A and B are shown apart, each in its own frame.
Chain A
Amino acid sequence: MTAESGNSARIDGQAAALPEAMGRAAELLASSRQPLVTGLSTDVAGARAALALAAVTGSVIDHAGGEATMCLARPLQDGGGFVVTPGEMRARADSVLVIGPSALHLMPGMAEALAAAPPLALVAGPRRVLQINAGAGPLAGAELAEFPGLSPLALVSLMGARARGHHVNVAATTLTETDRVVAWLAAAHYGVIIFNPLELGAPGVEALFRLATQLNRATRFSTLPLVLSASAETFKTVCLWTTGFPGRVNFATGAPAYDPELFDPKRMVASGEADLVLGIDSFGEGLGVPDHTMAQILLAPSLSGAAKPPDVFIPIGEPGRDHAGVMFDPAIGTLRAMPALAPSPRPSAAAMLETLRALALRKGGAPC
C-alpha cells in the first residue's frame, strides 16, 4: 500500500508505515485511563476481535448505534416478549399490523412480501395489512388508522387496555378508532406486529409485548422488530455469546459488567469518562469517530468524511468485498456468510484488532 493512495496508515494526519501506526495505537491504548471501543460497523470476526481487544485493554465497548439495540433489549430484559423471524411471518401471518411510517421502508422487499397471500395460513386468502400512524409512509393496499396526538406508549397502552376489555379515558373518536383496531387484531389467526424499536422507545416496546401477551390468550400473535443496523445486530449477537450481555459492556475491572445507561458510548464521550476512542468502521458508515477532541484511533476503509483526522488511522478492507465475512442479515433474521466479491490484500478489521491486542498484551495493557 503506498502513501499516495490516500488509503495508507496515518499518524496525526500524516502518512505513516503501518507498523508505526499500529505501534502508536498500542501506545495510546496502553496510556489511556479509560478506552472506549465503538463504531463497530463490522462483521462477526471484527466484533469478536474488538471484544477480545476490549477485554485485554479494560475498555468500555458498544456499537455506535446501540441505542436501537437497547430499545429492544431493555423491554425483553424487563418483561420478556414475543418475536418471529421474517421468513415465518411471510409464510404464516394472515394479519400484519404495521406501526408507524418508517417500518416497511427500512426493510427491503417487505412491502412486496406483505402484498402476497400467506401460503401457510389456516384459512387461504389474501393477507390483511393494517398500518397505524402511517404519516408520510402509507403502504399500498393497507388499511389505515390514525391516532393523532398520542405518544407511542399511550397508543400501545390504549390498544392493550381495550384488548383486555378495560375502560379507558379518551375522546369518543379515539375510542372508536381503537376498538376498530382491536377488533381487527382479534380477528387474526396468526398476527404479527411490525414495529421500529427506536420509534416506539423502550417503554412503548414493553407495552407492545404486553399487548402481544394479551392477544395470545385467545389467538396467536408475535412481533417483528425492525433491525435498523445489520452491524449493530451482528455486534449484539457476538457480544451475547462472548460476554452474556447485548452490548454496553465494560471490561475495566476484569469480568464484563453491563449497564445500558452508564456504558452508553455517547455518554462516555460527553462526560469525558472515556479518554480514548477506538472506532471501527469496516463498512465506511461514518460510525467511527464521535465529534470530540480526544485522542482517536480509527479503523476504516478510507479517511473520507472524518471532520478531524484521528490521531491514528488504520486502513482496512470491507467484509464481503475485500474479504469474506459473516453478518446478521435482517431478511433472514440470523447470521449469513458472505464470500469476498472482490478479494484484495486489504486487511480485515479483525486482523488489525488482533494485532493490536497482541501489542497491547506485550505492553502490559491488561487490567489488574
Chain B
Amino acid sequence: MTLTLTLKSPPPFRLDMSGVVPHLLQGLTTQALARLDVTTMRVPVPLGDWFRIAGTPGSDMVIYDACGELDQVGAALQGGNIVVAGNVGRAAGAGMSGGHITIHGHAGAYAGAMMRGGTLDIMGNAGDHLAGATVGALDGMTGGALQVRGHAGRRAGDRMRGGMIVINGHAGAQAGSRLGGGTLMVCGKAGPEAGVMMRRGTLYLNEAGPLPPGFVDCGTPDLVFHKWLAQQLQPYGHSAMALARAKLRRYQGDMADLGKGEIFLCAP
C-alpha cells in the first residue's frame, strides 16, 4: 500500500513533516490525513491544505513536487520506504532507525542527523551538518548508511559515531568534524580542516584542503582491507570504489583530541 502526497504549490513558510511518517499514519482515513497539522507557525496548517492526498497509508510513501520548505521529511522513520521527488528542507531522515528514504533532489541542513539505522539516499546536494548532531546532542549518526550523489555542505558527518556516509561530490569545510566512529567518504574534494576534533573513526578523501595541524603523516600503508572495501562499495558507484582502490596516504589525528582517528587521502 502506498500513500501519495503531491504538493500543490510551494508554501511561503516551513512545514513540519515529522508527523507524516508511515508508522504514525496506520489506519488513518484520507480525511484524517488531510487534518494532520504540519504547522511551524501559530496557526494550524492542515496537511490537506497543501498536499493532494491519494492512496492508503502503508509502509510506503511518495511525495511529489516537494520543496525546501518541507522539514523533517521521514524523521524518526522506523521502516518502509519514502521516495521524494523534489527538494526537502532541514533534517530529512533525522533520527531514523530503519527503512529507506530516497530524495530525488537536494536536502537542507541536518539531513540524516543522528540517524541510527536504515538508508538515506540523496540524489542531489545536501546542506550543512549532514548526519550531524543537533545542538547539545553528543552523538551524530550512529548507524545506517547515507549517500549523497552531489555535494555536501560544512561539517558533514559531524559527531558521527557509527555507520557509513558516502559523498560522491565535494564536501565543505570541516568534513568529519568531531568524528567518534564510523566511516565518511568524500569522492570529490573535502574543504579545509577535515577531521577537526576527530577522536576515532575513518575519513576517505579523494582530495582535501589543508588538514588541521593535529594530523600526522603515517605514510602509505598497503591495506588489504581497502581492496575488500572497494568491493563492498559497488552500490555507491564508481567514484567510491576508485577511491578505496587508490594509493592512499594515512594521517592520524586529531592530536588536539584523542588522536585515534584516521584520514586516508589520495596520494598525489
Contact with B along A194-218 (1 / 0, CB 8 A): 0000000001001100110000000
**How many residues belonging to A are interface residues under a CB distance threshold of 8 Å?**
42
Contact B135 A166 (CB under 8 A): no
Q: What separation, in Å, do the CA atoms of A120 and B30 have in the docked complex?
A: 73
Contact A161 B13 (CB under 8 A): no
Chain A residues with Cβ below 8 Å from B43 are 33, 368
Chain A residues with Cβ below 8 Å from B136 are 77-78
Contact A154 B42 (CB under 8 A): no
Contact B197 A58 (CB under 8 A): no
Closest partner residue, chain B, to A156 (CB atom): B256
Contact with A along B205-216 (1 / 0, CB 8 A): 000000111111
Q: What separation, in Å, do the CA atoms of A34 and B43 have in the docked complex?
A: 9
Q: What separation, in Å, do the CA atoms of A150 and B12 have in the docked complex?
A: 42
Q: What separation, in Å, do the CA atoms of A57 and B174 have in the docked complex?
A: 39
Contact A161 B138 (CB under 8 A): no
Contact A157 B214 (CB under 8 A): yes
Q: A167-B216, A169-B216, A261-B109 are in contact. Are A367 and B42 (CB under 8 A)?
A: yes
Chain B residues with Cβ below 8 Å from A273 are 13-14
Min Cβ gap A224→B in Å is 21
- B40 an interface residue at 8 Å Cβ cutoff? yes
Tell me which of B138, B216, B217 contacts A78 (CB under 8 A): B138
Chain B residues with Cβ below 8 Å from A174 are 213
Tell me which of B44, B90, B217, B255 contacts A166 (CB under 8 A): B255
Q: What separation, in Å, do the CA atoms of A211 and B254 have in the docked complex?
A: 13
Contact A253 B40 (CB under 8 A): yes
- B78 an interface residue at 8 Å Cβ cutoff? no
Contact A161 B135 (CB under 8 A): no
Contact B135 A252 (CB under 8 A): no
Min Cβ gap B265→A in Å is 12
- B259 an interface residue at 8 Å Cβ cutoff? yes
Q: What separation, in Å, do the CA atoms of A323 and B170 have in the docked complex?
A: 56
Contact B42 A368 (CB under 8 A): yes
- B41 an interface residue at 8 Å Cβ cutoff? yes
Contact B13 A259 (CB under 8 A): no
Chain B residues with Cβ below 8 Å from A168 are 213-214, 216, 255
Interface residues on B, range: 20 to 34
- A256 an interface residue at 8 Å Cβ cutoff? no
Residue from the set B42, B44, B215 with the largest chain A CB neighbour count within 10 Å: B42
Chain A residues with Cβ below 8 Å from B216 are 167-169
Closest partner residue, chain A, to B254 (CB atom): A157
- B193 an interface residue at 8 Å Cβ cutoff? yes
Contact with A along B237-265 (1 / 0, CB 8 A): 00000000000000100111101000000
Contact A74 B135 (CB under 8 A): yes
Residue from the set A150, A154, A259 with the largest chain B CB neighbour count within 10 Å: A154
Chain B residues with Cβ below 8 Å from A86 are none
Contact B217 A160 (CB under 8 A): no
Residue from the set B136, B193, B212, B257 with the largest chain A CB neighbour count within 10 Å: B212
Contact A151 B214 (CB under 8 A): no
Tell me which of B40, B174, B213, B255 contacts A252 (CB under 8 A): B40
Tell me which of B12, B212, B255 contacts A167 (CB under 8 A): B255
Q: What separation, in Å, do the CA atoms of A207 and B214 have in the docked complex?
A: 12
Q: A78-B136, A273-B14 are in contact. Are A158 and B42 (CB under 8 A)?
A: no
Tell me which of B44, B133, B197 contacts A207 (CB under 8 A): B197
Contact B213 A157 (CB under 8 A): yes
A95-149 interface (Cβ within 8 A of B): none
9 new A-B contacts, CB < 8 A, other than A77-B135, A154-B212, A253-B42, are A78-B135, A158-B213, A161-B255, A167-B255, A168-B216, A203-B177, A260-B135, A273-B14, A368-B43
